[in-house]
A and B are shown apart, each in its own frame.
Chain A
Amino acid sequence: MQHQKMPGTTPSHGPASAVNRPALFARYGTLEDLRYDYPLVLVEDDKGGTQFRPLMRLIDDALGAVAQPGPAGEAQRQQVLRLEAAIRRRVAAGESGRLSDLWRTSAAALLQAQGEQPFGPMDTNLDRARERLHADGMVIGCDAATPKAVLSHAWHAVHRDKAAAFRKKVDGLILRLSDILKADFMKSDEAHGAEALKSAVGQADSVGIDFGALSGILARARPVDRLPEDRLHRIGWALSVLGGQRFYGPVRGSELLPGQPKPHSYIFESCARALDAYRERLPEMVEFVKALTTAELEAEGKYRPAQHDPVLNAYDESDLTAEQEALLPAALVLLRDGEDDIAETVRAFEALASGLPIKVLVQTDDILGTTSPEPSRHAFGGGSARLAAMAMGTNNAFALQVSSAHLYRMRDALVRGMRYDGAALFCVYSGATPSVEGVAPYLLAAAATESRAFPTFCYDPSAGPDWARRFDLATNPALEADWPGYRLDFEDGTGQRLSIDTAFSFIDFAMCDARYARYSQPIAQKDWSEKMLPAADWLTLEPAMAVARVPYVLGINAHNELTRCGVAEKVAEAATRAIDAWRRLQELAGIRNSHAERLLAAERVKFEARTAEAVAKAVAAAAAAAPASVGPAPTVAVVASVPAASPARAAAPSAAATAAPAASAAAAPPSDLPWIETARCTTCNECTQINAQLFAYNDNMQAYIVNPDGGSFRQLVEAAEGCQVSIIHPGKPRNPDEPDLPALIERAKAFA
């Protein structure tokens, strides 16, 4: 047997190469040719609250608005997509800038390269699309700088909204208090003095007016009820505190008067500094809250010294409420795992447990860590993937774990975390691991999520009182399974196309890393044996069975040849730990929950006993009644339709899998179930990537819904939005407790 080849390459008969990549990566050539979530546009002055959007989606929206449907708009679509590819290439090459600038320079270069005239048809087409972009901002790629850029951007956007609300409130009070003082001043001698009257009339008109006499007349007519001294003093004090606050800066630079102290900064490089700053600023916060309260009462004319002075005099930092703190800015702490001192991690937990509005980003570039057993055995194979899970233990801190590849998908959660009143931890894996060569950070980040090395999850204490509402794991692929599976296509030595279903596991992920390569060495084909077993299956074996078998994962070598790689014990152990952590997350999300399963098993035993009894009774009764012929037993109803052929994987629910109906693919399926117009599927992998438990290919490699309960409604809606030919119909939500349902149902309407 000859070496197996990935499709699209010429066969080679060389020996197994030492340079290996996971076989799954063979699918992805160069990322620059793909339309995916990057480049990402960090939207400026974002009124809609979208904060950041993939360039691809902005361009699709613009094209949707400007390009005619069908062949008439095809030329324009092609030109704009070519421009998008040019921008993507520039960003991948390290260029950065605002979208409008990149668009301009890329369009100019494109025109020149194509020999097109300025103001010619292509220029006009591009310009029309540009006018419909509706957003501008820095364009970023997926690299080591991404997590910090995205998180800072989100923080600034939330900070800006808070600042606007703050100013509206505080400036409104300043205005009302100033009015009171002004009205009082207008009753003073000074306001009615000859000089004041003269300057009010102005030089040009003042000739011939006796301002002294006028002043005398006005002085006699004016009211005499001046404000009491203590009230004037109180209002003056409140005004000076509100006007001199340093929590938010002025909108216009020129409003900061010379000598006025600069506003506080809320971006920190360590939690220790953030906590210190918070403590230092406490007296200012207390003073501010007192002044704000005084101002509110004074503006309403309801300050009563006898009643209110004692309350405010006794008010101190222990009285600060969450509502009051929410008015003030949240701190942002930017940490980098591996660069910051380990003691800083401890301080981070102190900050998270404090419940103060401190937002901590822990960016990690290296999940696996070094292979040496120092300082603890568990350093092998990743400690940073545990920080967010640990933060959930504080119970009142918001925690989000996500890799750069899924930042956009988790955008809503990210913004919720930034807006959350208390502390929040964001653990983001950049994918820019120095010891991994030749794999784009985006791909590696996605692989980290796929392989359970860095699952995506969010814990939001503000979402509700229970775990079902607070904890969200839904963005991971193949939620119910240990590892996500995928289908690998290849050619054998004779050029025959074959495919196998395989899993993408932690071991596949570790294989990318140069430090870990030696733990999964290729095994020469002559040494392959019957004892070999895919690692994902091997990991489920009882120890006694496991020793008799040899685990392997599939890799591809430098010649694009499919190889089997051995799995060393240490990396297998790390994989076991990863799956253990994943199962814990599953349990928290109510998937394969051990308590529930135990209960269910007990109930099932009871149920079966009852049915057996009932059946026995019915049979006895029937036998007694009539000796007529007995018809066939009723069959199980089919719940999911399988449009063209039965699925390759046996994972589909047993009731559905067995009975593949011969129904034509075009027929609309019953009622509220999700469905796909399978015959129109272009096999782009978009939906199957999202969740293979939900979307799978049939024998024609066209997608269908393999199990309507295999994923969330959100995934169905996102898949429908992502499907380039719009053939996915999400149906109605099946789990009434899924978060954000109203918004999702609204989005699903477009695909009814």
Chain B
Amino acid sequence: MSENLSACMMRMVETDYALSDYQSDIAPRWCVGCGDTAILTAMQKLCRDEQLAPEKTVCVSGIGCSSRLPHYMNAYGFHGIHGRALPVAEGVKIRRPDLDVFVTTGDGDCTSIGAAHWIHAIRYNMNMTVLLHDNQIYGLTKKQASPTSPIGQKSNTTPFGSVLLPLNPLTVTLGVANVSFVAQAVDWIPDLLYDILKKAFHHRGLSFVRILQRCPEFMQHRFDDYVRDPSKMRILTHGNGLRLSPEVSRVYKNQETHDPLDMGRALAIAAIADEIPVGILYNDPSVPCYDDLRAGERPSTPALVETVLREEFDKVTIWPDDAEPVAAE
């Protein structure tokens, strides 16, 4: 037997997770027609197709309608504090690199209160998948303008319409040092949403996926034009990016071949105003990951931690005259 014994023994254990194995016993409380549901389904499909063990999968979120997602996943979950999903996820990943980490965050959660963490998480480029559910509004707190709300958007905090140009999460992310994966998806084309999630999951590094998400409750008709007119969607394809199925190709004829390593074009695509680009804007697998860079030569076993602490304390210990330990040889 020349093969690795444990690999061989592991293959003896067959797993057959079904979609339902990733559904928790809490029924989603999102409004009917909410785009978050499509995103949850795409994630559960991904877990099933990758046969991810639920106990090796972690979903971390902040606060918002979207951030309720971990409750609905049968996996480890961390429903954190507003804006702080990313630091929590980083903590999980650095200590447990063996777990697959997904982060769910809203436009308010990520680009407003959590903006600082967002920038630094991109720069840290740790190996995880980040889904920005961008409905361009604060949903949970019942309609306040968010940084991504369109100009003129009326809301409880902007009764006469918002006066500032919206922040573009794609161009911002593309501009951060060490960015390694940026994609855009929409909740109403599930095939592409799934394909993009899959690419994001397999990318080693932080994959940032902005998902335009419909909120029928507070942003009625916001994306209607796009949902109805496929030609307003620009699909990005490439040998190293998305490959379209014939069905999708037939409907979405407005396509562009875009090399995900072409940062210049990625920035231009991200800034397109009249169409919605969907696909992988940027993907550079060579960017180093902070978790890899910091992976110690020696894991911090309890024995090592104790030894190091003892050595450190010994440096500042004042020993009673008769109790000084004998110096180590």
Contacts and interface: CB of A to CB of B under 8 A. Distances in A.
Given A304-B13, A321-B2, A321-B5, A175 B307 contact: no
Given A322-B2, A324-B5, A171 B307 contact: no
A176 B98 contact: yes
Interface stretch (B24-32, B63-71, B170-178, B298-306): B298-306
Contacts of A179: 96
Query: B56, B301, B328: which has the most chain A beta carbons within 10 Å?
Result: B301
B6 A296 contact: yes
Contacts of B3: 321
Contacts of A175: 299-302
Interface in A194-237: none
Interface stretch (A68-76, A135-143, A251-259, A636-644): A251-259
Given A322-B2, A323-B2, A307 B297 contact: no
A202 to B, nearest CB: 16
Contacts of A315: 5
A254 B5 contact: no
Contacts of A299: 98
Given A168-B298, A172-B299, A323-B2, A253 B329 contact: yes
B9 A311 contact: yes
B1 A300 contact: no
Contact of B9 (A176, A178, A255, A297): A297
Nearest to A254: B307
Contacts of B307: 252, 254-255
Say whether chain A's binding surface is mostly helix, strand, loop, or mixed: helix
B302 A171 contact: no
A90 interface: no
A308 B12 contact: yes
Query: B6, B303, B311: which has the most chain A beta carbons within 10 Å?
Result: B6
A289 interface: yes
A24 to B, nearest CB: 50
Contacts of B310: 254
A319 B1 contact: yes
B53 A301 contact: yes
B225 interface: no
A302 interface: yes
A367 interface: no
A86 interface: no
Contacts of A64: none
Given A168-B297, A289-B5, A319-B1, A178 B302 contact: yes
B9 A293 contact: yes
A712 to B, nearest CB: 34
A262 interface: no
A164 B297 CA distance: 7
A171 B13 contact: no
A538 B287 CA distance: 68
A168 B299 contact: yes
A167 B298 contact: yes
Contacts of A251: 298
B10 interface: yes
Given A168-B298, A174-B299, A243-B303, A308 B9 contact: yes
B328 A254 contact: yes
Contacts of A321: 1-3, 5
A107 to B, nearest CB: 32
A178 B301 contact: yes
A300 B10 contact: yes
A254 B303 CA distance: 10
Give the size category of B's interface with A. Answer: 20 to 34
Interface in A279-330: 289, 292-293, 296-297, 299-302, 304, 307-308, 311, 315, 319, 321-324
Contacts of B13: 302, 304, 307
Nearest to A169: B299
Nearest to A312: B9
Contacts of B328: 253-254
Give the size category of A's interface with B. Answer: 35 or more
A182 to B, nearest CB: 8
Contacts of B4: 323
Given A254-B307, A254-B310, A322-B2, A302 B301 contact: no
Interface in B67-99: 96, 98
Contacts of B299: 168, 171-172, 174-175
A293 B301 contact: no
A142 B304 CA distance: 42
Nearest to B311: A254
B254 to A, nearest CB: 45
B55 interface: yes
B53 to A, nearest CB: 7
B95 to A, nearest CB: 9
B292 to A, nearest CB: 13
A243 B304 CA distance: 12
Query: B4, B5, B300, B328: which has the most chain A beta carbons within 10 Å?
Result: B5
Given A255-B307, A293-B6, A304-B13, A171 B1 contact: no
A307 B8 CA distance: 12
A255 B304 contact: yes
Interface string B305-325: 001001100000000000000
A300 B310 CA distance: 32
A302 B297 CA distance: 26
B301 A174 contact: yes
A311 B8 CA distance: 11
Nearest to B310: A254
Contacts of A308: 9, 12
A301 B3 CA distance: 21
Interface string B1-43: 1111110011011000000000000000000000000000000
A173 to B, nearest CB: 9
Nearest to B12: A307
B62 to A, nearest CB: 24
A315 to B, nearest CB: 8
A180 B98 CA distance: 13
Interface string A240-277: 00010000000111110000000000000000000000
A575 to B, nearest CB: 47
A297 B301 contact: no
B311 to A, nearest CB: 7
Contacts of A323: 2, 4
Contacts of A168: 297-299
A299 to B, nearest CB: 7
Given A253-B328, A307-B12, A297 B6 contact: yes
A255 B298 CA distance: 13
A178 B302 CA distance: 8
Nearest to A311: B9
A175 to B, nearest CB: 4
Contacts of B12: 304, 307-308, 311
A442 B175 CA distance: 61
A436 to B, nearest CB: 43
A253 B298 CA distance: 15
A168 B301 CA distance: 10
Contacts of B303: 174, 243, 255
A536 B75 CA distance: 82
Contacts of B5: 289, 293, 315, 319, 321, 324
Query: B9, B10, B98, B328: which has the most chain A beta carbons within 10 Å?
Result: B9
3 smallest CB-CB distances across A and B, nearest first, come from A296-B6, A171-B299, A175-B299
9 contacts: A168-B298, A171-B299, A176-B98, A243-B303, A251-B298, A253-B328, A293-B5, A300-B53, A301-B55
Interface of B: 1-6, 9-10, 12-13, 53, 55-56, 96, 98, 297-304, 307, 310-311, 328-329
Given A164-B298, A321-B5, 13 more contacts: A167-B297, A171-B299, A171-B304, A243-B303, A251-B298, A255-B303, A293-B6, A296-B10, A297-B6, A311-B12, A315-B5, A322-B2, A323-B4
Interface of A: 164, 167-168, 171-172, 174-176, 178-179, 243, 251-255, 289, 292-293, 296-297, 299-302, 304, 307-308, 311, 315, 319, 321-324
